[in-house]
Amino acid sequence: MEPVLAHSVRLDGDAVHVLDRRVFPFERTWVRCETVEEVAKAIEDMVTQSSGPYFAALYGMVLAARTLSDKPFAEAREELARAGALLENTRRTNNALRKAVALVLETVDTAGTVEAAAEGARIGDERYRERSRRLGEYTAELLPDDGCVLTHCWADLYLTETVSAAQRNGKRLRFVCTETRPYLQGARLTAETLAEMGVETTLITDGMGAAVLQSGVVDALVTAADRVTMDGHVVNKVGTLGLAVAAHAFGVPFYAQVQAPDLGASTKEDVPIEYRDGAEVLSTLGRPTASQRVRGLYPAFDVTPPRFVTRIVTDRGVLAPDRLTDYHRGEER
């Protein structure tokens, strides 16, 4: 069964509909955006996250283009670029927004009409899903026919495509997922999505991963990576490092998923770590859960050194963390 989060940004009629991940799965609320400005606001307000902003930006560009079809191309192209800048500026560290906007503008430029924005969005949507599907297939090949996977946070389409590929191949996978404080992406998004896909799923708190890895029930630790440096450092949601170190200590392989290693980051010093407001650690779903007399610390990501990483799974195959230049080899020739 297709889980709702696999298609949670939809262009439908005259609006983009965005599933509100902030309240999922307690409520299944869709935010309706009729203009590119409303799409930008939804991204800025974190209605969607992970791959969601990429799809929202693609379809936000389509909404903008529809309002420009009566104008001369040069003028329409200029206004469309301004709409793109508006989308990009909602979350400045998110490379996916820039990629979505650039792809739509390129398609428009090639066609010589802003109406081609719809075609650009379709290409961007399909390309992202296709790359995730290949990555999911490579990941599923690494997993046993009957086994248990530990995952952390929310790997989005990488997760759903891995599960789909395993199901197509007749593999029986069980999952353990961490709740992923402070925003509970594991407890809310991952747990609910795996349940929707019919996967036997067990939820643990973030402190229980090492005990579960030590117990011998887990065959592999699998997480997405926000970025992977060319020398094999895995940058992902904070908590990944602790699980990777424990997996290494107890002989469980760690597979990190990324469409491609980042040519722009040769090593970890090239990746600034985002620190979010420490106050976010002092509450859960908006309700205080801690002493308010201390400060919270919230590094959003951590960096796992290559010695704790077994393999990097990309859309072009499975690579050792010290062989990531192989990914781009075909392009260089």
Tell the smallest beta-carbon distance from residue 103 to a copy of itself (Å): 34
Q: Which listed residue (48, 139, 160, 180) binds a copy of itself by CB under 8 A?
A: 180
Terminal-residue alpha carbon distance, the chain:
41
Of the candidate spans 108-116, 142-150, 155-163, 201-209, the one that interacts with a copy of itself by CB under 8 A turns out to be: 201-209
User: Which C-beta is closer to a copy of itself: that of 93 or that of 215?
Assistant: 215
SS3 103: helix
Whether 19 contacts 63, CB under 8 Å: no
If the CB atoms of residues 263 and 285 are measured against a copy of itself, the closer one turns out to be 285
Nearest in space to 109 (alpha carbons), one of 63, 67, 61: 61
CB of 269 to a copy of itself, least distance (A): 14
Instruction: Supply the DSSP symbol for 187.
Output: I
Tally of CA atoms within 13 A in the half-sphere of 184 that contains its CB: 14
* Span near a copy of itself by CB under 8 A; candidates 77-85, 137-145, 227-235, 278-286: 278-286
Active site residue 226: yes
Residue of 182, 174, 257, 246 lying closest to 212 (CA atoms): 246
- CA–CA distance from 207 to each of 123, 178, 246, 248 (Å)? 41, 8, 11, 16
- Active-site residue among 125, 226, 262, 315? 226
- Could you say whether residue 288 binds a copy of itself (CB under 8 A)? yes
3-state secondary structure of 15: strand
Beta bridge partner(s), residue 262: 229
80 binds a copy of itself (CB under 8 A): no
Strands 146-151 and 172-178: parallel
DSSP 48: S
Q: Which is nearer to a copy of itself, 114 or 153 (CB)?
A: 153
Among 21, 22, 131, 188, binds a copy of itself (CB under 8 A): 188
Among 152, 227, 233, 311, indicate the residue that binds a copy of itself (CB under 8 A).
152
Asked if 23 is part of the footprint of a copy of itself (rule: CB under 8 A), the reply reads no
Q: How far apart are CA 310 and CA 319, in angstroms?
A: 9
Q: Least separation, in Å, of the C-beta of 244 and a copy of itself?
A: 8
- Select from 21, 77, 131, 181 the one that contacts a copy of itself (CB under 8 A): 181
Which C-beta is closer to a copy of itself: that of 22 or that of 77?
Answer: 22
Q: State yes or no: residue 25 binds a copy of itself (CB under 8 A).
A: yes
3-state secondary structure of 77: helix
Binding of a copy of itself by 297 (CB under 8 A): yes
Q: Which of 102, 142, 208, 230 binds a copy of itself (CB under 8 A)?
A: 208
Residues in the chain: 333
Does the protein bind a copy of itself through residue 321 (CB under 8 A)? no
Print burial letters for 152-172: b (CB count within 10 Å at least 16), e (below 16). bbbbbbbbbbbbbbbbeeebe
Residue 22 vs 131, nearer CB to a copy of itself:
22
Q: How far is CA 203 from CA 150, 306, 314, in A?
A: 10, 27, 27
Nearer to a copy of itself, 8 or 314 (CB): 8
Q: Which stretch binds a copy of itself (CB under 8 A): 14-22, 58-66, 114-122, 184-192?
A: 184-192
Burial annotation 195-219 (CB, 10 A radius, 16+ → b, else e) = ebbebebeebebeebeebbeeeebb
Q: Which of 179, 226, 262, 315 binds a copy of itself (CB under 8 A)?
A: 179
By CB under 8 A, name the binding residues for a copy of itself: 25-26, 152, 176-182, 184, 187-188, 191-192, 194-196, 201-212, 214, 238-239, 241-243, 245-246, 248-249, 278, 281-282, 284-285, 287-291, 293-299, 302-303, 308
Positions marked catalytic: 226
